[in-house]
Amino acid sequence: MNVLVLSNLYPPDFLGGYELGCRQVVEALRDDGHAVTVLTGNPRQPTPAEPNVLRRLRLADIYEPYLQAITSTTIHAGRYVEANGIQASNVYVLIETLREVDPDVVYIWNTVGLGGVGLMATVQHLGYPWVMHVMDDVPRALCSLPFRVRPEMAAAFARVLRGRYLCCSRTVLREIVAAGFPIAPQAEIIPNWVTAPGTPDRTEWMAEGHLRIVNAGSISTNKGVDVLIRAAGLLRDRGLADFSVDIYGPGNDPQFPNLIRELGLDDHVRLRGLRTQSELAEMYSTYDAFAFPTWEREPFGFAPLEALAHGCLPVISRVCGLSEWLVDGMDCIKAERTAEGFAAAFGDIMQNKVRFHELARRGMQTVLRTFHLSAIYPQIRKALATAANSPREAAGSPEDAYRLALLAERMAYAMVQDSLAA
């Protein structure tokens, strides 16, 4: 197969698991003998050139907190149009690349920042079959023009864009459908994966009875870092003090160090800063439990799976994307997303009320057998091959597509201007 991958960012420039996952699948496809070209956004920092990775698309970085803080509502709204709706210049680049590569299938990842709706509409207009890998509610984000989903936009999105969707969980699919995108008939659910070989020969947990808890990801209340810190406080107050919590990730929100100080947990909870994925992978086998008190709308989360591959047992929120893949009491522990709930779960581990070693060992085997990319990849390849074999029906020429893009861009700006003036 000849595959064109579209993604807003591509490692080494990345934000999280979405982009890292994209690279892993691209490598798997190449290893399997497929020709893969990646078309992605301009990197946010200098990156070395790579063969078949074209960093040509203009990225409207709406994730940059500094720009979010200093721009006015009007400018911010304009950036949303560029990021989510359409950038005619990116449509032009895409048309040129499609002409160059002439792929059998276009494999779309996160296109927020590139004018994703415009790019997807162009692919559809030119009759290329496409598959979108959904690891977040990207369709909803793309149709937020600006700040909220316009129902007419959502309906048009689902009606016009007739590709296939690979969603990482039913949770994220339901969220997208509930936001007004009836994509379920075109969707297939494929879980996220690990690529690491793990530590299958691990035999030791909780050395000297000390529970070592780790958390990695963005440090925010959405990810439940405050819940974790408060849970640590409750554990210590109950006399179960033989534990430590290490939190890795980016974030400079002062509320978390303040909370640690306020609760007097400096000896137990440490914010350890950002680490690379490979550094974390090396460290997971030195921890016993991975705390994941994330919010309900978490689509999946790569980190707990990666930790489990190294025998670091996830203690996760009962309701989140990952909880529809791991089984409570078999290969993870699920807890109510409260400090009390997580403290109780850790307390049970420390008081040997759960068969921790057994769970960790079984979980590790499950991940390496069921969630390894080698097990997931055939499903991805099949979905791409099915799409590639579907008939091409172009609605118009590349020139038409570009003219429409220019028109749509102007109309989008006019609509946003009108809605802000109203």
Q: Regarding beta strands 289-292 and 243-248, do their DSSP bridges make them parallel or antiparallel, or are they unpaired?
A: unpaired
Site for another protein in 350-369 (CB under 8 A): 366, 369
Which CB sits closer to another protein, 99 or 318?
Answer: 318
Q: Total residues contacting another protein (rule CB under 8 A)?
A: 16
Identify the residue whose tokens are 């079959």.
Answer: 129
215 binds another protein (CB under 8 A): no
Which of 186, 370, 386, 419: binder of another protein (CB under 8 A)? 370
SS3 338: coil
Residues 6+ apart with CB under 8 A from 176: 134, 137, 139, 140, 167, 183
Which CB sits closer to another protein, 97 or 169?
Answer: 169
CB of residue 296 to another protein, shortest distance in Å: 8
Which CB sits closer to another protein, 246 or 296?
Answer: 296
CB of residue 350 to another protein, shortest distance in Å: 23
Question: How many other C-beta atoms can be found within 10 angstroms of the C-beta atom of residue 400?
Answer: 13
C-beta pairs of 378-382 under 8 Å, 24+ apart in sequence: 379/188, 379/190, 380/25, 380/28, 380/133, 380/166, 380/190, 381/29, 381/32
Answer whether 345's CB lies under 8 Å from 243's CB. Answer: no
Site for another protein in 272-331 (CB under 8 A): 318-319, 323-328, 330
Identify the residue whose tokens are 């149009």.
Answer: 81
170 binds another protein (CB under 8 A): yes
Which CB sits closer to another protein, 227 or 326?
Answer: 326
Question: How many other C-beta atoms can be found within 10 angstroms of the C-beta atom of residue 46?
Answer: 7
CB of residue 95 to another protein, shortest distance in Å: 40
Which of 226, 246, 336, 348: binder of another protein (CB under 8 A)? 336
Report the C-alpha gap between 83 and 61 in whole angstroms: 7
Which CB sits closer to another protein, 370 or 386?
Answer: 370
334 binds another protein (CB under 8 A): yes
Residues 6+ apart with CB under 8 A from 196: 281, 306, 309, 310
Amino acid at 241: A
CB of residue 331 to another protein, shortest distance in Å: 8
CB of residue 317 to another protein, shortest distance in Å: 9
CB of residue 325 to another protein, shortest distance in Å: 5
CB of residue 299 to another protein, shortest distance in Å: 13
- Which residues sit at the interface with another protein, rule CB under 8 A? 170-171, 318-319, 323-328, 330, 334, 336, 366, 369-370
